[in-house]
A = this chain, B = another copy of it.
Amino acid sequence: MSVHLASVRDRACLIVHGPDRPGIVAAVSALITRNGGNIVALDQYTDDPEGGRFFQRVEFHRPGLAAASEEIEADLAKTLTPLGMEWQLTDQSIPKRMAILASTSDHCLLELLWRHRRGELPVTIPMVISNHTNVAEDVRSFGIPFFHVPSQGPDKSEAEARILELLGGNVDFVVLARYMQIISEDFLDQVGVPVINIHHSFLPAFIGAAPYRKAKERGVKLIGATSHYVTKDLDEGPIIEQDVARVDHAMTAHDLQARGAYVERAVLSRAVQWHAQDRVIRHGNHTIVFP
C-alpha cells in the first residue's frame, strides 16, 4: 500500500492474466526463480474458482534486470503462451511518462505536481496541457513544460489534433485533472495510451454535468469522487478508486464543490499512483486493484 521509490533498481513487475488453472502460481514463481529473480510482493485473484479468469501481479528483484529482460521475456512466451495467458513485464526503475490535461481548476493538478516533487509518484511529467492559461505560472514553477491549447466553439477537432501532436510518442498515460472538455471517440482511438479521469461524484450517482448541484437538489448526506479509465461511454469506464466526504443541509452547492475538491484530489492521486505502479489491471468494465 505504501510507496517505495527508493531502491527500485533491478525491480520488475510482472502482470499475468488468463484462464485460471491449477499450478499457474507455481509455474510463474518457478519461472521467476530460474531467471534469477527473488519475489518481493505477490498478489493474485480469480474471479471464479470454477473456470474463471486469473490475475496475478508479482514484483521481483533481479540483479542486472535490464540485461536479462529479453531472456525473461522469451521464457515468459515459452511458458505462458501454451497456457493461453497474457503478460506484461515492466522495469519499475523506469518511471511512466504522464501528461496532465487541465482547465481552470488547480486542485487536482497542483496535488499531482506536488506529490511528484515529493517523490511519491513514480512518473515523469513531460507536459501539462490546458485550455486556459491561469495555471501556466504554477506549472512552470515546478519545472514542468506548459502548453496552452485553447478549445472554443463546438468543433474540438483542431484542439484535439494539437493535443495528440504534443502527446504523440511522448507519454505512457494521460490524466484528466478536471479537464472540462468532452473527449471525442476519435481522440481515444488515436491517443493509444490509457486515459484516467476524475469525476466529481460518487458514480454511478449524478452522472454527467453539475453533480454537486444535483447532489444538493437530492439532499444527500455524503458527496464523493470517482477516478476511472476513460472509455467511449461517458462516465461509464472502469472505476479505479472512489471516496466520499460528509456534508449537511446547511452547505450550498458551492460549499459541496469546495469540500468535494479535497476528495477529488485524494482519489485521483491514489488512482494515478496505483496505475503508475502497475497495480491496476483492467478487465472488461472492471478493475482489479492490488494496492
Q: How many residues of A contact B (CB 8 A)?
A: 68
Known A45-B249, A204-B206, A220-B242: A29·B38 in contact at CB below 8 Å: no
A219 within 8 A of B: yes
Q: How many copies does the complex hold?
A: 4
A283 to B195, CA, bound (A): 42
The one of B26, B37, B41 in contact with A29, judged by C-beta atoms closer than 8 angstroms, is B26
Q: Which residue of B lies closest to A28 (CB)?
A: B29
Enumerate chain B residues within 8 angstroms of A288, measured Cβ to Cβ. 249
Chain B's closest residue to A111 (CB) is B114
Q: Which of B30, B118, B285 contacts A26 (CB 8 A)?
A: B30
B-contacting residues, A25-59, CB 8 Å: 25-27, 29-30, 32-33, 37-46, 49
The 10 closest A-B pairs by CB, nearest first: A2-B255, A26-B29, A26-B33, A22-B38, A219-B286, A205-B205, A29-B29, A25-B39, A221-B242, A23-B33
A residues sitting closer than 8 Å to B (CB atoms) are 1-4, 7, 22-23, 25-27, 29-30, 32-33, 37-46, 49, 61, 107, 110, 114, 118, 120, 137-138, 141, 202-206, 218-222, 224, 238-244, 247-252, 255, 258-259, 262, 266, 285-289
